[in-house]
Structure 1
Amino acid sequence: MVLRRTLRVDVERVTRVVYVVGTELSINLNRSAPPSSKFFSVKSSSAVQCSIQPPPQETRLQSPLPFKGNLVMLISMSQASQSENESKLSVRYYGEKKEVLGNAILHLTAVEISLDVDADRDGKVERNNPNKNSWKWGKDGYGAILLVNCDTEQSYWKKPDLEKDSISKVSDLKDMSPMVLRTRGPAKLPEGYKLTMHISKSDAESIRVFRSGSSGDDDNTTSGSFLFNLFVETHPLVLGSNVLSEEVPYEGGDSKWNYYVEGLRFLDRDFDGSVRIHLSLLEPATRGIPDTPIFTDTVLFTVAPWIMTPNTLKPIEVFFCKTSDNNKVLQQVQKFVAEVGCKLRICPQYINRGDRWIQDQMEFGYVDSPHHGFPVVLDSPRDRELAEFPHTELLGPDFGYVTRTPGKEEVTKLDSFGNLEVSPPVTVNGKNYPFGRIIIGVAFPTAETGRNMTQVVQDFLRAQKVQDPVALFSDWLTVGHVDEFMTFVPAPDRKGFRLLLASPDAAYKLFKGLQNDGHGGARMFEGVKDVDPQSVDEILEDEDLQLQNNYVQNCIDWNRDVLKRELGLEDADIIDVPILFTTHDKKADAYYPDMVNMIVLGKDLAIPKPFGPKVNGVCALETEVRSLLEGLGLTCMFIDDFATYHIWHGELHCGSNVRREPFKEKWWNMVM
């Protein structure tokens, strides 16, 4: 739609105006016509195109035409002027006998002005894209994308770059979105006219804008080629929280200025991710009266969401803590990771200070745009010995950091990120979730009291849009984490994965089968220090244990139904893993090492060793799990974590963390 501007002209006076190519000037001829006007004619320079609405029968505007009705003249020009007041237009008014009553004269200076962004999402800034002020999801969509500048370019500066108000290295520019101001026209604007760039006060909380030192600088940045680790001397801050509007250069001729837009906020409950930057041409007014905007060009940016990575994506790096008592487990984990061919990063004791639960402290994700992307760690509200690890050890160049502070909200065990998982991609009732769905644990919906994940974290997760969260009931557990009863593993068929659910029913079925086959005397926990072995017969005879597990199975089945409904799963997509639980103070813990709480590295699984009853010298629980998983092409390695993890209400997944490759799919191509 062409931008139309109403212009007033006066008889016997020259009106000088700056015209922006691509717009229309609208002149109501009745308003400027002398009394008794019956005819009019129009003459103009060849560069000026004009038309009359409604159209007269006579197309030659140079000859007197009848002055009938409420006539409007539309004026446009196709190219910029070489000099000021270069083009002319005059309207002559006539009386009844075609005598001249007066002339309205217009002198025009045409300029081209555009504020440009990468609206077609190809990594380059195109000229005057018609969709630069809008957003559309999907592969045929459009709209520029903005990254939150939450990494740091300085190894000694342990704060995200967004907390600085200047650019110190060229490498920081790649975290920002390019924006270009293009102008074409005479050597200078007519006296008093000026260009200003401006943002709203609310958007100033979310973005900053920097400008290159001189016109034409940094052309290579729009193509993704950057000179790393060189200091930038002249990239002044143009717009921010303290500067909402600033005059910008006009150099004449065919010129351009490069700008860099920095994101300061992730999407959240009070921020939908949309920000706009405006460029206005101001017309001078008389003294004491503000200048008038006669043209405004606007671009829209949408902030990239934080995206989690599921177990089905390729692992890059495994994190594990070294403590005073876990040397044997660590050795087994090192062997497992080495065999997979993955990198292992060990957090030493002087950093973790005895806190082994690195899964609970943080969750890995990433941000992405057509011009750049990088991993971002989400730091949990959990405030224990590992609290500083994500910030001090991970934040760095091209490694971002984000957290949410609960304020007055109570932080519980449900705020640890063993209670935060994400499914592989799913389709639910025809709606595609190409990045899966986030899964969190909360209190039962009808519970008057109970533990919940803090609202600020839930709000943050929901605001990211592309991985619409699913809430499960996890408060029935002592620790309260969803990773205690579920996980996902890759599979070659169906949906490309299986959901593993802990199942007391499956455990009792297995134990009853052992008893029927004459193995009721086989004992669990043999060889485990300070734990009394329990026979299959004893477990099956324990009525109180059976009642406890009936309750646990009910809780898991409730979640099973939610997961089937919210992830579009069928029973064939779910594998029941035999796990028993015990309850204390109305909360449940795994009776033996919880095998669903595993480390998943592609097709290789590190599973807590369950110390189940042995049949012919082989653990029956391990045999059952192998039979369930190895047919999917998965490899199972059982690791003894009993003394250093299980007895402290956690397992291998709780004590590890995995950074994975991002999705190849682009989030902006998702159909919402």
Structure 2
Amino acid sequence: MRTRQAGRVVLALTAATAVLAPQAPAQAAEPPRIDLRADVDRDGTVDVTGVTDEQGEDTWSVGRGALFLPNIDDDSRRCRPPAAATPDAALARCNDAADGKVNGSADAADLARVRSVAATGLSDDATGSVRVTTGNGHVRVFLKRAGAWTPVTTATRLTAQELRAGAEFGVEGKDVIRDSGVWDGRAVIRLTVTSADGTSTDEVTLRAAPLLTHHNLQNTQRVLVTEVPGNDSYARSQQQFVKGLVRQAEAAGVTAPVVRFRQYGDVWAQDFVEPAYVGMTGPGGRPQTIRVMLRSAQDRPAGRELYSRLRGPGIGVVQARGRDMRGWETLNSFGNLETIPPYARGGRSYPAGRIIMGRREGGNARPSREIRALLRSQGLQNPLLLDTSWLHVGHVDEFVQFLPADTPRGWRIGIADPQAGLDLLRKAEREGHGGTRMFSVKAGNGMLPPQETIAQALASRHLVSDNTMAAERIRANLDVLKRETGVTDDEVVRVPALYTRGIVGDSAGTRMPLLRRVGGTVGDGVRDHGQQGLLAREGAAAAPVVATSAYVPGAVNGILLARDRYLAPRQWGPVIGGKDIFTTAVTAAYRKAGIKVSYIDDWYTYHLGMGEVHCGTNTLRDTSAPWWGAPAAR
């Protein structure tokens, strides 16, 4: 029987029936409870007292999951301007992630925060260690200790006191995601705590912020252009273009000084760099972004100036190479990369927009494998390839653009319309103006102005057929865009344009300014005004195609300086009744879309080199809006 004595239960035993009762084992000490957290809900704060950052800490999706930045800028300006003999690879290696220090601002805003919840009840012998179990070699982890950031190594140990107080870590990426088949951007951080009571672990998953290209719903903040030094006629014309560009940017409210590349004389500022960015929510909920200048995969020396002219605090440079395209090397120029603004369609969402690039129809010519892998691996803007084989240069900016709109979708497609261009000429001829000169441009740069008339242009055995073909190819590309995005005909701005064939039988080339007197004709007396010849071949095999370029300066090949301000190339079309009929028609097309057009002369600087205003300029755009706010599906 049982009796209670001083609060204890006593087992009474008789001599005859004595039984030994087993003693209850002492309760084993529980291993410490460890809880590691990151900014899963992307509000800029790691919640260690509530539960907002608990759900989904081991996964990652477009809408939720912790981010870290590829820390490839140069906040402390330790990367010196490159010497002429510095190899490209050495240029690319210098950035904030290349050392074991936390560079830049005192709040270390480029570091993603990871925290451990205060672990009470730890024994004094408890120690902690941190390890990157996924993504090791791609990220660096720092521990904040005594107010300073210290790199975490295999020898780093957290004390029981630090674990009881809760530890703070910072995570930086060493590079952007290059190829998801090699590394998909994920980093798993594991905290292990060991004591006499046992061992516990917890881990969180972060992902490198995707490298994203700009779209035209992001406001222009800065304009980039190349300024050619010298006093020859071409240099003076190009310098005049730069002065006009500065005035137009200021008039549109772009207050930051225009960036002027001067070192290499490559006037195609759109082609050797694609401005992009990576972003997350930083301390205090503020956007934390790093601009990334994506250098063209071509071997263009001008890309080297990005390191001296732009790399610095908040700006890094990424090189992506690859010459495996088996066709037009010009497809690797970034005039061949534009971005559809955010949209959703058929269950697929592109909250940061979607890239378009040109390829050669029926062949293997497309942008390099490396650049396509890099863009695709970001997981958000998977490139859509369009047919640009009908264009001599082969860039998407020669016929399509995307314009802001006060509509539910928020944007429209601007598209070149060769049929409308032909209609303008035919109407003028019917009204008795067939003898009017096709172009009103004056002589310049030692070149004669084109002399053909409207009637001669229309009588050409090539001009009409070339534009009929161009209209068909543009219509096919527009059908692809409409199918992919859901855009309707009412959301398309059709801008009059005309094209003319370039070098027949040679599909390899890159635009260059044509510094020679105009010569030669296209078709029946229609001058090519410099659009044949003097192209820089880059080892690509020639292909017998009929390819075209802009005959009248391509109006869609301009830049959006503000939401309602657009800068187009001056048209220099036929002047009838004191008005340029192409300028009038282009202005009306954009005005109908709520956009005011200004014009700048690029005839001798860019147009004769098979490019226009957009090809010769670039823009840095606002990156403050979070990219993960997905639009509603349509």
TM-score (norm 1): 0.75
Partner SS, residue 380 of structure 2: coil
Larger Rg: 1
1:206 aligns with 2:167: no
Matched, 1:309 2:233: no
> 2:621: which partner in 1?
660
Per the alignment, residue 167 of structure 2 pairs with 257
Q: CA deviation at 1:342?
A: 0.8
Give the number of aligned pairs. 542
Deviation, structure 1 residue 386: 1.5
Shift of 1:344: 5.7
- 1:404-553 matches, within 5 Å, as 404-406=320-322, 412-429=329-346, 431-444=348-361, 446-447=362-363, 449=364, 451-493=365-407, 495-529=409-443, 530-553=448-471
Is contact 1:117–1:178 with CA below 8 Å preserved after alignment? yes
Query: 1:120: which partner in 2?
Result: 41
Secondary structure (helix, strand or coil) at the match of 2:145 reads: coil
Q: Deviations over 1:579-599 (max 9, x none)?
A: 221222222111121111111
SS in 1 for 2:165: strand
Give secondary structure in 2 for the equivalent of 1:248.
coil
**1:48-91 Cα deviation digits (max 9, x unpaired):** xxxxxxxxxxxxxx999xxxxxxxxxxxxxxxxxxxxxxxxxxx
Asked if the contact 1:311/1:601 (under 8 Å) is kept, the reply is no
Instruction: Quickly say closer, same or farther: Cα 1:175–1:252, change in 2 above 3 A.
Output: closer
Distance 2:305 2:388 in 1: 26
Match of 1:557 among 464, 467, 475: 475
The residue type paired with residue 268 of structure 2 is W
Task: State which drifts further: 401-410 or 297-306.
Answer: 401-410
1:5-30 residue CA offsets vs partner (Å, 9 max, x unmatched): xxxxxxxxxxxxxxxxxxxxxxxxxx
Tell me which stretches of 4 or more aligned residues in structure 1 moved more than 6 Å: 407-411
Q: Which runs of 5+ in 2 are unaligned?
A: 1-8, 12-16, 81-93, 229-234, 283-287, 505-545
- SS of 2:191's equivalent in the other structure is strand
Q: Does 1:375 align with 2:291?
A: yes
Structure 1 gaps of 5+ residues are 1-61, 65-95, 218-233, 285-291
- Name the structure 2 match of 1:178: 113
Partners of 2:163 and 2:112 in 1: CA distance: 26
- How far the C-alpha of 1:426 sits from its partner, in A, is 2.5
The counterpart of 2:128, out of the listed 183, 190, 195, is 195
Distance 2:163 2:114 in 1: 20
Bigger relative contact order, structure 1 or 2 (CA pairs below 8 A, ≥6 apart): 2
TM-superposed CA distance for 1:312, in Å, is: 2.7
Change (3 A) 1:338 1:168: closer
Note the C-alpha offset of 1:418: 0.5
Q: Distance in 2 between matches of 1:283 and 1:257?
A: 17
Within 2, Cα distance between the matches of 1:98 and 1:203?
Answer: 62
Deviates more, 1:549-558 or 1:596-605: 549-558
CA distance in 2, matches of 1:294, 1:511: 82
- The match for 1:598 among 558, 573, 589 is 558
Paired residue type of 1:498: R
Cα distance in structure 1, aligned partners of 2:554 and 2:100: 49
Secondary structure at the counterpart of residue 462 of structure 1: helix
CA distance in 2, matches of 1:481, 1:98: 95
**Whole-angstrom CA distance in 2 between matches of 1:422 and 1:630:** 23
Higher percent of residues as strand: 1
* Separation in 1, partners of 2:305, 2:149: 33
8 Å CA contact 2:416–2:494 kept in 1: the answer is: yes
Return closer, same or farther for 1:405/1:503 CA change in 2, 3 Å cut-off.
same
Structure 1 residue 398 corresponds to structure 2 residue 346: no
Higher mean alpha-carbon deviation, 619-628 vs 108-117, is at 108-117
CA contact (8 A) 2:331 2:367 kept: yes
Q: Letter of the aligned partner of 2:403 in structure 1?
A: V
Residue aligning to 2:547 = 587
**Alpha carbons 2:211, 2:277 under 8 Å: kept:** yes
Structure 2 SS opposite 1:319: strand
For 2:73, the equivalent position in structure 1 comes to 151
The structure 1 residue matched to 2:574, chosen from 613, 629, 638, is 613
State the partner residue of 1:281.
193
Secondary structure of 1:460's counterpart equals helix
Structure 2 partner of 1:248: 158
CA-based RMSD of the aligned residues comes to 2.8
CA contact (8 A) 1:318 1:656 kept: yes
SS in 1 for 2:97: helix
Question: Cα offset for 1:109?
Answer: 5.6
